[in-house]
Amino acid sequence: MGEDRLLAWLREQAPELTAGIGDDTAFLPPAPEQAVTVDSQIEGVHFRSGLEPERIARRLLAVNLSDLAAVGAKPAHGFLALSTPNGFDHQRFFSAFLEGCAEHRLHLAGGDLARAPLIVATLTLIGERPEGCRWLRRDNARAGDVLWLGGTVGESALGRHLLERGNGLELPAELQAEAQQAIERHLAPRPQLELGRRLGRHERVAAVDLSDGLARDLGHLCQASGCGAVIDAEALPAAPGHEELSRHLGLDPLELQLGGGEDYVLLFTLPPDEAPPRSETTTRIGEMTTDTSLRLRHGHREGLLPDLGWDHLAS
C-alpha cells in the first residue's frame, strides 16, 4: 500500500482522531496560535552513511523548518529524538544544531537520546502564528488563481545524483562550480520562512513546501483545494547550468524539476490580481483550473503532468 492510500485509509478509520495526519503540519485546536510538524532524517534513506554530523543536524533542521515556512509560522520550540550508533559525535551534531536554532530563534525544549544501529533523527517543531498574519493552508486555492514558485526546482535532486556518483564522475571544468552548488543545495536547503511569513499577510493563499517533488506536492495542494492546475514547462525556474549538468549525468532536466524532490521552496497560489511578496526568486509557473487534472504546457502543446515524485512508502 502506498503512502496516499494508507493516509486515506487512516482518515477513514478515525476521522476525528487523525484530522491532521498526512498534512505536514497540524494546528492545535486548543491553542490555534500553534502549528506542529514532525519529520525524520534516517541514515541510508535521507542521507548517505558517513555524512558529517554537522550536515545531518543542519539538514534535519532545514527540512522541518520548511514545513513551518509552508504554513507561515515563526519557529518557537523544538523537540529532538536522536538515536545513534556507538561512536557518533554528539558534540559536533549539537554544536551545528544549536547554531541553526539560534539563527532561527528556535528553542530546543526537549528530547530523547538513544543508541541504535544507525542514525535516526526525528525533530518535532512548534511554530507560532506571527501577529497580524493568517496561517497558510493547502486547501485555499481556487480555479483562476495564479501558481507561484518560491525558487528553483531540480537542483537538490541533481546534488543528490552527484553525491551518489561520488568521485568517479569527471565533470568539465565549466560545470564544477554549478555541481558544487547543487550538492550544497541538497545538503543544506534553505527553508523559505521569510516568504512564508509574508504570504501570511495576504487574504487568501494556498501553499505547500516542495519535499516530494513539484508534481506530487502540486497534486497534494490541488487535491486539498478541490481543483486542478496547469503549469508551463518553460516557466519552471532552474539553477544556472541545470540543463548541462543534467545532460552530463544522463538525466532529463525537466523530470528532475518535476519529480526530483527535496527542493524545499514554497509553491503557492494567489488570486490573479495579487502580486507575490517581492523576491528575486519568485516565479509565476501556471494557473489553477476547474478541471481537477494536473497538466503540463509546452508552448501551445498541453498534456497530463507525468506522475513523478516521492511516495515515501513505495518499495
Contacting residues toward a second copy, per CB under 8 A = 1, 3, 6-7, 9-10, 13-14, 16-26, 28, 30-31, 33-34, 36-40, 42, 44-46, 76-77, 79-81, 83, 86, 90-91, 94-95, 98, 101-102, 106-118, 120, 122, 124, 126, 128, 312-315
- Three-state SS for 114? strand
Residue that the C-alpha cell 526525528 belongs to? 122
Q: Pick the closer one to a second copy by CB: 40 or 279.
A: 40
The candidate with the shortest Cα–Cα distance to 229, out of 95, 121, 138, is 138
* Structural contact between residues 39 and 120, judged by C-beta atoms closer than 8 angstroms: no
* Structural contact between residues 302 and 287, judged by C-beta atoms closer than 8 angstroms: no
Question: Measured from the CB of residue 70, what is the shortest distance to a second copy in angstroms?
Answer: 13
Q: Pick the closer one to a second copy by CB: 20 or 271.
A: 20
Question: Measured from the CB of residue 219, what is the shortest distance to a second copy in angstroms?
Answer: 17
Question: Measured from the CB of residue 202, what is the shortest distance to a second copy in angstroms?
Answer: 24
Rounded-to-integer distance, Cα 276 and Cα 285, Å: 13
Q: Pick the closer one to a second copy by CB: 178 or 263.
A: 263
Rounded-to-integer distance, Cα 306 and Cα 152, Å: 19
Q: Pick the closer one to a second copy by CB: 28 or 169.
A: 28
Question: Measured from the CB of residue 72, what is the shortest distance to a second copy in angstroms?
Answer: 17
Question: Measured from the CB of residue 35, what is the shortest distance to a second copy in angstroms?
Answer: 9
Q: Pick the closer one to a second copy by CB: 106 or 221.
A: 106
DSSP labels, 210-249: -SS-HHHHHHHHHHHHT-EEEEEGGG----TTHHHHHHHT
Grid cell of 127 as nine digits: 511554530
Question: Measured from the CB of residue 133, what is the shortest distance to a second copy in angstroms?
Answer: 16
CA-CA distances (angstroms) from residue 107 to 58, 79, 97, 99, 267? 15, 9, 11, 11, 27
Q: Pick the closer one to a second copy by CB: 235 or 313.
A: 313
* Structural contact between residues 160 and 48, judged by C-beta atoms closer than 8 angstroms: no
Beta bridge partners of 297: 232, 302
Grid cell of 115 as nine digits: 543508541
Question: Measured from the CB of residue 119, what is the shortest distance to a second copy in angstroms?
Answer: 10
Q: Pick the closer one to a second copy by CB: 86 or 167.
A: 86
Question: Measured from the CB of residue 73, what is the shortest distance to a second copy in angstroms?
Answer: 13
Q: Pick the closer one to a second copy by CB: 104 or 284.
A: 104
* Structural contact between residues 229 and 250, judged by C-beta atoms closer than 8 angstroms: no
